[in-house]
A and B are shown apart, each in its own frame.
Chain A
Amino acid sequence: MSTQTHPTTRSDASPNTGPNPKTGTPPKLGSKSDRFATRVFGAAAMSFPTWAYVLFFFIAPVALVVFYSFGYKPDQFTAVATDQLSFDRYPEAMSGAFVTTFFATLRISVLGTILCLLIALPFAYWLAIKVSPARRSLALALVMVPFWTNFLVRTLGWQIMLSPDGFLSNWMQGLGLLDAPLDILYTRTAVQIGVVYNYLPLMILPLFVAIDASGHKLREASYDLGAGKVTTFLKVTLPMAMPGVVSGCLLVFIPLNGDYVTATVLGGASGSMIGQLIANQFNTAQNWALGAAMAMILIIATLAVVGIGFALLWLGRTIAARINSVQLTDGRV
């Protein structure tokens, strides 16, 4: 333990050069605890700009909208009034077309997330394990390329492809695969295809990282201990990939639930999603209170689904752990 060797560092780093006020450590130990205090004080101070930004440009605006959701629309020309606060906008939001759209949106998002996972899991496994390391960088870069092109433009690509008088429709009819023009555009199927397409890279990347991190050595060890490919996949690779599965699902589901651009381009009138209804309240209907209440319902529903997802995951793990432990004892006895 050194004594005071560099007073300059300490004096300009922290005003807190005396004994530690919390623990009352004597100045003799100050050298160590002092630097600790400096570091903590420095880190907290350093986070101040980010804190301020988040408070002023996230918490405050969202709080304002939460407040608006308790207001009402006084007349045709005013977007919102908050002189009388009530919960009335919530039941108003949960009636009529909103409920239908709400569940349609949830269905598209949940199904979209599951489809993304089913497509991405073998793909990420292939990318992380089966592609030779030399080619892997290129393959990863290729996965990123769609991510780097505007998602609206990519969706337009699908619109062209799926249109009834588009080339795909003509080819399929020419080959005799279809006897009428392709009838997918402006249906829920088209929205589902586009949504899965747009969010797929967001599922592939975290899965790839997780599977890649699961490590070749562990799998080799599993083979050496006599486990087959399936067992190794189920008991080594998949559990190690679970964090990737979780973050991938979150990354896909949450933005997807609020998205309405894909649905507008590919679903037309039949593809309206909650996001669209909320946007309408703010842009055209000018009923901010109702729109704000709808937005709150969207957030609550999103969090609820995420919560249910985590609960199912926990349940699955608990059951799996129980089954595994039973097998283990059986094997030994």
Chain B
Amino acid sequence: MARKNTFARRTPTDIALHVWGIIVFIYLFVPIAVIIAYSFNNGKVLANFQDFGLGAYISGINNDVIISSVVTSLQAALGTAIVATIFGTLGGVALARARRGALWALGLTGLLGLTLVTPEIVDGISFLPWFVTVGVDWGVSPLNNGLVRLIISHAMFSMAIVTFIVRARLAGIDTRLEDAAADLGATPWNRFKDIILPIAAPGIFAGALMSFTVSLDNTILSSFVQQPGYTPWPVYIFSAVRVALRPEVAAISTLMFLLTLLALAFVAVVLRKTGGSSTEIIKTMAP
């Protein structure tokens, strides 16, 4: 009710804020609109619009290099989401249940915090020699696979996000719930499965989603750890920037954009069915 009142009397400040909000939205969306518009460019160079057509879509979908890089990216993103979610959830649950001031918990929080404040370029140059040392010199051959390298490095990058989201989600819960379950004879695994997981689920879900996107977006780290045959999509684009950008890049990006929107809509529908509010989810996701 009170909210309605403040909304009804529109002071100049309110009007200015509304205008500002709309301007920021335009700012946020203009480059995306430009890319979508230029994906219909039938010319040879992306930035030089010649005539309207679907040529870029057709040649993009038929371009094996582009398609394989998109597939690599999606595989890496999926793997990252799985790995980061498993390790991050374990870490988050453990931290949420830690005794106040426990050294291992402080240490883990500090280390994960450190991973968050480390610039991506430093992660990149660190992983490069490390993968060579462990994979080649020590002979741990799975680490020589390009996809494994992408997943491991991306998961490291987003593990802290998942851990902190899950911890935050569990921070408020009553530990007596678990005690009660234990009194009723639940085993630790059952307590984890039936109490912790359902409560943490929105956080875990948000974390998985975040790791997926972070991985899909990652350029700098990927360009260091990538192996021949496993070039992810952003790295492909970035190398194309230095040579010549063709409209195919815009066309495939537009397709991926549409796919993302569909996936998000699907997620929103699922969440609505399960009763979660999208605002709540977005709020859990914001660091």
Contact = CB atoms under 8 A, between A and B. Distances in A.
Interface in B198-250: 213, 216-217, 219-220, 223-224, 233-234, 237-238, 241-242, 245, 249-250
A149 B257 contact: yes
Given A54-B159, A122-B20, A151-B217, A6 B90 contact: no
A147 interface: yes
A257 interface: yes
Contacts of A291: 125
A247 interface: yes
Contact of B126 (A49, A61, A131): A61
A159 B240 CA distance: 14
A6 to B, nearest CB: 5
B115 A64 contact: no
B266 interface: no
Given A53-B159, A61-B127, A216-B3, A47 B108 contact: yes
Contacts of A74: none
A59 B108 CA distance: 12
A9 B123 CA distance: 43
Interface residues of A, number: 108
B61 interface: no
Given A156-B46, A255-B119, A150 B90 contact: no
A309 interface: no
B35 interface: yes
Size category of the B interface is 35 or more
A201 B28 contact: yes
Given A149-B32, A206-B287, A130 B7 contact: yes
Interface in A198-240: 200-201, 205-206, 208-209, 212, 216, 220, 229
Nearest to A273: B121
Contacts of A159: 47
Interface in B4-20: 6-7, 11, 13-14, 17-18, 20
A18 interface: no
B216 to A, nearest CB: 7
A54 B130 contact: no
Nearest to A209: B286
A133 B3 contact: yes
Interface string B243-269: 001000110010011001100100010
Given A125-B17, A163-B47, A58 B111 contact: yes
A288 interface: yes
A212 B277 CA distance: 15
Which one of A57, A119, A201, A206 has the highest number of Cβ atoms from chain B below 10 Å of its Cβ?
Answer: A57
Given A49-B91, A148-B261, A247-B287, 9 more contacts: A5-B183, A6-B183, A64-B133, A65-B126, A119-B24, A140-B282, A145-B261, A157-B30, A216-B3
